[in-house]
Structure 1
Amino acid sequence: MTAATRTGPRAFARRRQSAITLSISAAAIALVALTGFPGGYRINLTPSEPLGLWRIVPLDGPADVGDLVFICPPDTASIREARARGYLRSGLCPGGVAPLIKTVVAVGGQRVEIAAEVTIDGRMLPTSTLAEKDGKGRPLTPFASGVVPRGQVFLHSAFAGSFDSRYFGPVPTSSILGLAQEVLTYAP
């Protein structure tokens, strides 16, 4: 390819088209960022749930087992440590973390046993194997077993590397922002 070909009308048109596409994409992202937050829209960039655009939908009643929810984790020592280790993204929740998308697997009054896997009221929770160490070889401390207190929920994600209640314990139902609804997502 000659220098003239790289700088000719076709190359200019391709660069111009790329610049236009990039500008439109940047404007769309800015629009979602500015209007999406007040409208309950969030972008999930973690592998715990499909990547993409999600919406927070208000709950009609108390959270129940099986509900997929957005939650602001409370500002506890385990959440601060998770933030320092890079498990959680920055955001507007207490402690400076982003909301999490997790499934409610136990509610107040249910017994959670944590060993090599999690059992709830004597039934094993699928895909709940505990990790002893994180991806960098640092030890992970599981939450102690016990009864989920009233007004709290135990959260889980089937993603193998998920940081959830297996490690940080039950969270207050007041931390739930609403149901998590997929809008435009991609699951690899």
Structure 2
Amino acid sequence: MIIRVPAVCSLAHKRYWALFWFGIPALIAFATTVGLGMAGFRVNFTPSEPLGLWRIVELDGKLRIGDLVFICPPLTDSMLEARDRGYLRRGLCAGGFAPLIKTVAAVSGQTVKVSEEVFIDGQRLSHSRVAKIDGQSRAMKPYEGGVVPLCAIYLHSAFSSSFDSRYFGPLPVEGVLGYAHEVWTYAP
């Protein structure tokens, strides 16, 4: 005896299996992303540093010039404007910002002069040309310079269009999440 299954049942059956085969991998990818994030891993999608997977590593002491760090930007008017302009991504830091990956270029007590380029204690900082306008022809307001305050760091990226301390000035060290270590990256 042959029993015919109505087409409606087979369509529902196909939908079930499609949901199963697409839903399970999506759920696994989501769980993996959350797990990696809790373990200190982050994905960088910005050109300021190589694209790819990075890890936040606990600080082992005093920050030094040349250290590459993850830092949460403070909740300030200039940072909110930067987010509105698209310079900063949304994330889990205070104010809804994503952490930045930047190199420490100056520490407390050092003098920063900003003109066409950046000078730290009289020495030109390489790859530090200051843009007058952004990619959408909007005026950029550079940091006026000065002495890096106590418990603050001046941050830099060699990427010419990076939004860094050339524009927002020194940031408080309390926002540093840890060192930024490359895990699996690609530098175009």
TM-score (norm 1): 0.85
Structure 2 distance, partners of 1:166, 1:22, is 45
Runs of 4+ in 1 over 3 A off after TM superposition: 21-29
Secondary structure in 2 aligned to 1:37?
A: helix
Structure 2 distance, partners of 1:163, 1:26, is 33
Amino acid of the residue matched to residue 173 of structure 1? V
Q: Which residue of 1 aligns with 2:59?
A: 59
Q: Which residue of 1 aligns with 2:17?
A: none
Matches within 5 A, 1:1-188: 26=26, 29-188=29-188
Structure 2 distance, partners of 1:44, 1:37, is 12
Q: Which residue of 1 aligns with 2:10?
A: none
Amino acid of the residue matched to residue 48 of structure 1? S
Structure 2 distance, partners of 1:64, 1:115, is 24
1:46-90 per-residue CA deviation (whole Å, 9 max, x = no partner) reads 011111100000010021100000000101111110001011111
Structure 1 distance, partners of 2:25, 2:147, is 48
CA RMSD of aligned residues (A): 1.8
Q: CA deviation at 1:26?
A: 4.2
Amino acid of the residue matched to residue 128 of structure 2? S
1:147-169 per-residue CA deviation (whole Å, 9 max, x = no partner) reads 00010000000001100001011
Secondary structure in 1 aligned to 2:32?
A: helix
Structure 2 distance, partners of 1:109, 1:185, is 34
Larger Rg: 2
Structure 2 distance, partners of 1:78, 1:178, is 23
Percent identity reads: 57
Structure 2 distance, partners of 1:98, 1:178, is 14
Unmatched 5+ stretches in structure 1: 1-20
Unmatched 5+ stretches in structure 2: 1-20
Structure 1 distance, partners of 2:104, 2:71, is 10
